[in-house]
Chain A
Amino acid sequence: MEHVVIIGNGISGITAARHIRKQSDCKITVISGETDHFFSRTALMYVYMGHMKFEHTKPYEDWFWEKNRIELKRAWVKTVDFEEKKLYFRLPNDTDDKEAKVGGSISYDKLILALGSTPNKFGWKGQNLKGVQGLYSYQDLESLEEITPQIKKAVIVGGGLIGVELAEMLHSKEIDVTFLVRESSFWNAVMPPEESVFISRHIKENHINLKFSSELDEIIGDENGQVKAIRTKSGEEIECQFVGLTVGVSPNIGLLKVPQGNMIGREKPAFVLGVGGIKLNRGILVNEYLETNIPDVYAVGDCVEHENPQVGRKNIEQIWYTGRIMGETVARTICGKPTKYQPGIFFNSAKFFDIEYQTYGQVPAELPVDTKTFYWEHSSGRICVRINYQADSAERRPKAVTGVNTFGIRMRHEVWDEWISSGKSIEYVLENLPKANFDPEFFKQYEKEILEKYNAETGSSLTLKSKKGLFSKIF
């Protein structure tokens, strides 16, 4: 029986395992050193804030794995031998008894690398002090929980999604949070200026001390190796007992970079690329089929770098659902139906304290040539919508919508996916905007106000042509 081994029990590795099981009878083993069972990484913040327990982050009950004959192994893989198709739980030359105990090896016929990612550290002085960490793994949560009682003031470096989540988490424990953002406005490398200002305002509303245009210079420790302050590049010193590093994540490929010398008694050439000759760049390089350069070795999820990404997609895209889709895709390939990784229209979502954000299609920070934009913001300053569309002069699909950002109004994925992929015009979309509304019943609707703003700006006289959601079909 063919043995498929998956390193990593996150969303991509587990999705691959589940879908392989659906399509095949082969032996499946999932290895993780992080936790015994698959959990939702995105929910760690809720565990910290007391919204749920760790148990609740597990999408499947513990009996699920045995029932579906997916073997789980709790261990860190230390060495991969691609030639012998073997994984070792220790380093080649390690003679430490403790290491040897978790020793042993597993052979595979097919290997899926789902190694995830790791928080970036940019070589700051003091970045390894106690009380300095990112927030990615279960272990990160544990160490944060452990140190929390001692934190009165915290500094978060880097303004992205995890940064905001970490700020919200610390804030929930009544910790003073200072947020250092290198840019002049929050997340403005990703968000257009209005949205960036909009989110910044909301973060400040929640009593987070946002400092723009300030960069971390060094982290200062006390005599016990515990962080006591940070210094910014402008020389300002900020006292703190905790530093959260949230300056993005990178593919977690350290395992594959460990130098190979005399490996389990055999001479091996030192490969330029990675262990056993696997091609690495910033991530593990894969083709459209998620195959690495080594036969029978695949890579999925955060650790992947696509050699030929689709138009409109980045070569490294660390999102929950891209990991899930890669898992689904590679399962087919492994089960004998070679399938290309083909994510559709881009989408994503997040929550900034109390404001939910969704996006469909492309809404880059800087407006591309030949693209126009329409932005509406409610007077409360807590709801806004931006729709990008092709200019009249565009060669292809003039006026077709290309993307939307929505804050404080939930929108239907299905509807926007259809509008963007079929190139519906901005007029059509605005007249039918209630169709995309996914807010709960009785919520106030703003489509009319949005439409009126567009009419006023463009001198058009559009009117609403449909009603909200599925409900309209009854009456």
Chain B
Amino acid sequence: MLQKLGLFIFLAAFMLFVGTLGMNNYTLTNEILEKNFKEDALLDAKIELASMVDQNYSNSYTFTAELSEGINQLNKVYNAQQAWDKKIYEDTILTIVKSSANGYLVDNKGIMFLLTFGLAIFGALLFIIPEAQKPAGIKNNGIYFNPAMTRKWLGIGIGTFLILFYIALYFKPQYIANWTMLVDPVSKLINGGEASRWFMYGFLYTISVLVMGIRYIIKYRHSKYQIFRTLSIMFFQTCIAFILPEIMSNLNLPSADLKNMWPLDYSFFFNYRIDKLLASGAFGIFLLVWGIVLFVVGVPVMVYFFGKRWYCSWVCGCGGLAETLGDPFRQLSNKSLKAWKIERYLIYGVLAFAIIMTIGVLYTYFTGSYNLLGFIPTESLKSSYGFLIGSIFSGVVGTGFYPLMGNRVWCRFGCPLAAYLGIIQRFKSKFRITTNGGQCISCGNCSTHCEMGIDVRAYAQKGQDIVRSSCVGCGVCSAVCPRGVLNLENAETGTRVMIAPDVLLGNLMEK
């Protein structure tokens, strides 16, 4: 009953959240244009957008579309003139839309924040927390009857929403200007300014990890491994990824997510970032060194001792969202041999792309030449990586496809850092998943609920340790095993059982 009420409140808040996109009236004024355009482009803008100025728009979509079209025309002209510095980017359009808005939402951001985010969180928790009254243990009842978790209409609906959200966030943020407005009060509280789209995204992301993290902890509360791991994810997302960078920029320091690293953080070696760090004195140098040490020394050492899980399922933000928001979809990962083959081509392909792109970027940084080896255009390498991998793959596909291909689409098929961590895990690590003698009954719970699409059972039933570059060590295979067969363990690298024994334990026939 309480749960149904919670679900109802959550859905109502969610609908209102979507509905806020249509709220507000919009009036573009010359004053706004003057604030947002550089002097040399201002006149062009005033002419191009003359028909919009001082007009009242009650439809946010019409206003935003007309404004975007006008600016698009301007950009076309600038492109033709090769006047790159005059070009106007999404964030400016977003700011113009925000400044032009007036109405209930603008005047009551606090109330609207509570009615959307506040109620959604409250409703979700009301739905989640009563689960704790049931006895602790694996309760996967009904997953395959649930239309959200089985690629049925609800799953497809959620996927479509997420995909549209990411497309808007990355490419057309002006259309979700009102969502950034909703979190302005939070932004003011933390850094004193209005919320950017990235602040809004970071806030939404963190809230998702926290609320769904609570759900995860309740679901797997019989396992201390799962509890600790999830608390770790929640901590790193909230404190290290979300709050700390805000504090750093409040202190006028270059802000950085200290746990993010190259090549996942693919722009780490981009010229503007290096320049900024070098210009920020000792702290900037520290960040630069820290970022390099993290992937040069940190990764090999930590993976050697604990496997890639130390990062992928204990620290990483993408992994954090996958493990919490994405947990209801973990069973949707494809377990076939074919999927594994595709996975290997894709993920190492992306790693190679990231390395070549970074070499190109650094080459340009140090030599000033825009052609690596005389023929590879470094700028287009950089921009195509950012578009194809940074935005489309990791965002739109990576999260948008949760309800369609499982919660680790990005981590499994695309993440270059996961590829790098995985190579070390496969060849030089103490980590493995041990199988317990002859106890396996081939039931398939482990494989079904493996988010990385590993056919765990194929190993367990023949007594071979699971040593796979993709395994993120979430521990769910071990948790769902009804016979106590699987265990995540660290021991001397040589003790990993890489070849299945001829005869399983419990059979005394000759080997």
Contacts and interface: CB of A to CB of B under 8 A. Distances in A.
B448 A347 contact: no
A426 to B, nearest CB: 22
B437 A50 contact: no
Contacts of B448: 51-52, 56
A46 B437 contact: no
Contact of A470 (B146, B490, B504, B506): B490
Interface string B190-206: 00000000000000000
Interface in A134-171: none
A49 B439 contact: no
Interface residues of B, number: 58
Interface stretch (A24-32, A102-110, A119-127, A410-418): A410-418
Contacts of B331: 52
Q: How large is the interface on A (under 10, 10 to 19, 20 to 34, 35 or more residues)?
A: 35 or more
B391 interface: no
Interface string A301-343: 0000000000000000000110011001100100000011111
B137 interface: yes
A444 interface: yes
Contact of B487 (A51, A354, A438): A438
Interface string A7-24: 000010000000000000
A30 B153 CA distance: 39
B257 to A, nearest CB: 27
Interface string A26-47: 0000000000000010110011
Interface stretch (B50-58, B79-87, B217-225): B217-225
Contact of B140 (A51, A347, A351, A354): A51
B503 interface: yes
B135 A205 contact: yes
A321 B144 CA distance: 28
A474 interface: yes
Interface string B461-478: 100000000000001001
Given A344-B506, A469-B489, A412 B436 contact: yes
A358 B141 contact: no
Contact of B444 (A57, A343, A442): A57
B484 A410 contact: yes
A53 B490 CA distance: 33
B444 A358 contact: no
B479 interface: yes
Contact of B141 (A49, A59, A349): A49
A335 to B, nearest CB: 13
Contacts of A340: 509
Given A172-B141, A440-B223, A471-B489, A343 B475 contact: no
A68 B492 CA distance: 35
A354 B305 CA distance: 32
A442 B482 contact: no
Contacts of B510: 339
A175 B415 CA distance: 45
Interface string A425-449: 0000000000000111111100000
A166 B508 CA distance: 34
A206 interface: yes
B144 A53 contact: yes
Count chain B CB atoms within 10 A of each CB in A410, A417, A439 and give the residue with the most: A410
B505 interface: yes
Contacts of A457: none
B224 A444 contact: yes
A49 B489 contact: no
Nearest to B305: A474
A50 B445 CA distance: 11
Interface string B127-146: 00000000111101111111
B483 A441 contact: no
A320 B141 contact: no
A349 B439 contact: yes
B366 to A, nearest CB: 42
A396 interface: no
A101 interface: no
B222 A320 contact: no
Nearest to A443: B224
B445 A52 contact: yes
Given A50-B141, A342-B508, A344-B505, A351 B439 contact: no
A395 interface: no
B443 interface: yes
Given A440-B488, A441-B488, A469-B489, A474 B430 contact: yes
B490 to A, nearest CB: 6
B252 interface: no
A66 B70 CA distance: 62
B104 interface: no
Contacts of A59: 442, 444, 457-458, 461
Contacts of A238: none
Nearest to A472: B491
B509 A474 contact: no
Contacts of A53: 144
Given A442-B225, A444-B224, A320 B508 contact: no
A122 B487 CA distance: 42
Interface in B313-371: 331, 336-337
Interface string B146-174: 10000000000000000000000000000
A82 to B, nearest CB: 27
Nearest to A329: B509
27 contacts: A40-B443, A42-B442, A43-B443, A46-B443, A49-B141, A50-B140, A51-B140, A53-B144, A205-B135, A321-B439, A324-B438, A325-B504, A343-B507, A350-B482, A354-B136, A354-B137, A354-B222, A358-B439, A412-B436, A413-B506, A440-B475, A440-B478, A441-B225, A441-B488, A441-B489, A470-B434, A470-B495
Given A43-B444, A414-B505, 8 more contacts: A40-B441, A42-B442, A50-B145, A205-B135, A340-B509, A353-B135, A440-B475, A474-B430
Interface of A: 11, 40, 42-43, 46-47, 49-53, 56-59, 61, 172, 205-206, 320-321, 324-325, 328-329, 332, 339-345, 347, 349-351, 353-354, 356, 358, 410-414, 417, 438-444, 469-471, 473-474
Interface of B: 135-138, 140-146, 222-225, 228, 305, 331, 336-337, 430, 434, 436-439, 441-445, 447-448, 457-458, 461, 475, 478-480, 482-484, 487-492, 495, 503-510
- What 10 A-B pairs are tightest by C-beta distance, nearest first? A413-B437, A354-B137, A410-B484, A470-B491, A442-B224, A43-B443, A342-B508, A51-B140, A351-B482, A50-B142
